[in-house]
Structure 1
């Protein structure tokens, strides 16, 4: 399994109950649920086992496994919503979550390490035994289910305070690597909203 920074049909996965292939009813995916993820194009399951990842040897390998959605117990993942109480359901775009491998306890992980030419220089996806790292966080960008009504994307628009917080976080991150020249006037993040300097 690899990752890359643009959207296409290879990014689509079918979320299934861990113990059933039936999709007759609509169930919201909740914190603590056990699921299987089937890649829509290849019909293989997201799978991990205790083999070292190709680049990050301290992590476990993540692969596509099985045929037509059939696999084994290494295809089971647990949903862990960040700062969410038990049985909170996932919300598109807004929910940050971890996918914890049920058998090994590692977390699905991706970072900026690229694979060699055999991996088309895409980003490595691995299963990280250090569960609390920030690159173990995921969200769901799109959700399609013919049994549910369509909703407007406007509901995901950030509030003024969320936009202000995000813009300041981006400024802090981008400015943290800059060093002032001798005699140059600088400002601190708390001074930006009030235009102090």
Structure 2
């Protein structure tokens, strides 16, 4: 009897999903009693249309979202570490403060994506479509600044040697310009 009751609940949920008059993934997940914040880590959501959905704070770590339509989705503070987002449409998506460490974004469409404060360590960004050059420059500039601060704080003598050499090269180039002017 207990087995029969335990089978009726999933059968009822399946029946509700089949009878639902929607193709909206978020609505179907709600009908099934699933919580996007916790129940989709590691899930296979490849090719799913989630466009315009609010997935802020969702745990989609290690999920397969390859070729999914995530355009205009709010993924603020989402956990997407290790997720497969290859070929996904992320145009206009808000990924502010999202954790994309180790995520595969190869071939993804990233035009207009907001990445302020996002963690991108070890993320694969090769062959992405329309990625803003500003993102790459921003990441590179931050890395350079961190390196410079590290050298200044931990090894100030290296920084001083660098400055002395730079000043010497400027002085030498100025002298050569002056001597070239005298020869003419």
Instruction: Return the TM-score normalized by structure 1.
Output: 0.24
Instruction: Write 1 or 2 for the structure with the bigger share of helix.
Output: 2
Question: Higher RCO, 1 or 2 (CA under 8 Å, sep at least 6)?
Answer: 1
Greater fraction of residues in strand? 1
**TM superposition score normalised by structure 2:** 0.25
